[in-house]
Amino acid sequence: MTRGKLISTFLLAAVLVMVLFEIDISPSTTTEIADPAMEAQYRVCYQQKDDEIHATAFATIDNPDVQKEFIISNRARASAECGALHPESMIVVDEPWRFDLRPRFW
């Protein structure tokens, strides 16, 4: 096979791959994200306090409007308390470079 045919075959194959597949190339990056473990602890804390707030509101208050105000005001307090117990902390995540090749039409 001559050099010209080899180059044209390679170019044809490259064009076909570009037409038939979606190519996603991402370089490696370093990002900071919120610590998932600390976020999970915060959510558990908040959910426990929210359950207590609802139980108190529905057990002691008969007026739905007052219940709503009680729940809203105490949710802010619960969020602040859980935030103080489980402050947001950032962690560094290294993401490696990625090469994805997905079929475009099937």
* Domain contains 77: yes
AA identity, residue 66: V
* Domain contains 4: no
The one-character DSSP state at 86 is S
pLDDT at 1 over 70: no
* Domain contains 73: yes
State the CB neighbour count (10 A cutoff) for residue 36: 9
In the structure, what pLDDT confidence band is assigned to residue 90 with cuts at 50, 70 and 90? very high
Are the C-beta atoms of residues 38 and 88 closer than 8 Å to each other? yes
In the structure, what pLDDT confidence band is assigned to residue 40 with cuts at 50, 70 and 90? very high
Q: Residue 87 phi/psi, 5° resolution?
A: -65, 150
pLDDT at 91 over 80: yes
* Domain contains 41: yes
The total of structural domains in the chain comes to 1
Are the C-beta atoms of residues 103 and 20 closer than 8 Å to each other? yes
> pLDDT digits over 55-89, tens only?
999 999 999 999 999 999 999 999 999 999 999 89
* Domain contains 101: no
pLDDT: is 53 or 105 the higher one? Answer: 53
Identify the domain containing residue 59 by its residue range. 36-88
